[in-house]
Amino acid sequence: MMQWEAVEVILEAVKQCPEVRAAFLKGSLALGIADEYSDVDFYCLVDATQMQQFLKKRLQLLEKYRPLIYYSESNFVGPQIVAVFDNGLHFDLYTVTMKTFPRVGQFQVLYDPDHLLDGFMAETTDHSLTWEQVERCFNSFSFSMLEFHSAWCRGDIAWSTRLASHLAGDLGVVLRHCYDPSNAQLGTKRLESVMPVGVRDELREALRFCCGEKIPSGVNMLASLMQETMEYLEKKSGRKVNWRLFRFMVERLGCN
């Protein structure tokens, strides 16, 4: 698989860099669920004092594998290059220090001669959410329903479509919390693989309607699924959310 080919080639190059103390993977490769469409989340741990020296080498290291057809720079947990090779592989190269090591999510050690990563094994947490975070997603969903109603009544189909996407995103997080709580922060990514078939089919049907003249029907379906899921979570957890805005918008939109 090209993902592992890239990892092997770039890892060998990284090992030759004196600034690099360790290298590891996160994401689907680290979790053992990667497929031919997966991207690569490759991390290099360097000394903070040698950070700038290493950053200048990153493009050269990446091109040890294949030529790049695109790259951009970002800063997520640390300096990051988002790269695309000439075979279409998406490869994210992150640079972190002991201080900025990402303590959320499983990782797979590739190179660690001084065992620097051993101490992080017990410290890393999963991608779960607190009830307060789930509640914020629900509140965001309710408010997006309000915005959707205004946009749709105004005849703004482009913005209505975008708001329907926001609704699906918030619902995805809540569904993930319900059926795959340790990975709730991942939201809709690979969500279909962890939901019951019936719920998956409900979501797919709603999403089919979230474009063009059918958007209100799709939004109604998303709202219905959100209501079912939140009622279940309330019963399971013994916690409560504020339903007033949600129910107001359900009535206004004519949701069943």
CATH of span 131-253 = 1.20.120
* Domain regions of the chain by residue span: 2-121, 131-253
Intrachain domains 2-121 and 131-253 with the same fold:
no
| Of 116, 17, 3, 26, nearest in space to 58 by CA | 17
Q: Six-digit token pair at 190?
A: 């690979």
User: What global pTM score does this model have?
Assistant: 0.77
Question: How far apart (Å, rounded) are the C-alpha atoms in residues 225 and 228?
Answer: 5
CATH code matching the domain that covers 2-121, chosen among 2.115.10.20, 3.90.650.10, 3.30.450.40, 3.30.460.10: 3.30.460.10
Question: How far apart (Å, rounded) are the C-alpha atoms in residues 78 and 98?
Answer: 11
pLDDT at 125: 65
Spell out the residues 6+ positions from residue 223 whose beta carbon is closer than 8 angstroms to its own.
141, 145, 167, 246, 249, 250, 253, 255
pLDDT at 256: 41
pLDDT at 96: 96
Beta strands in the chain (DSSP E): 20-26, 40-46, 68-75, 79-85, 90-96, 108-111
List the end-to-end C-alpha distance of the chain, in Å, as a whole number.
47
The 40-46 sheet, strands edge to edge = 68-75, 79-85, 90-96, 40-46, 20-26, 108-111
pLDDT at 233: 96
Spell out the residues 6+ positions from residue 30 whose beta carbon is closer than 8 angstroms to its own.
24, 41, 105, 106, 107, 108
pLDDT at 255: 54
Q: Six-digit token pair at 111?
A: 């190179």
- Alpha carbon of 63 to those of 27, 32, 59, 84, 94: distances in Å? 22, 25, 6, 10, 15
Q: What is the pLDDT along the chain (256 residues), one digit of tens a residue?
A: 999 999 999 999 999 999 999 999 998 899 888 899 999 999 999 999 999 999 999 999 999 999 999 999 999 889 999 999 999 999 999 999 999 998 877 899 999 999 999 888 766 667 888 999 999 999 999 999 999 999 999 999 999 999 999 999 999 999 999 999 988 888 888 899 899 999 999 999 999 999 888 999 999 999 999 999 999 999 999 999 999 999 999 999 975 4
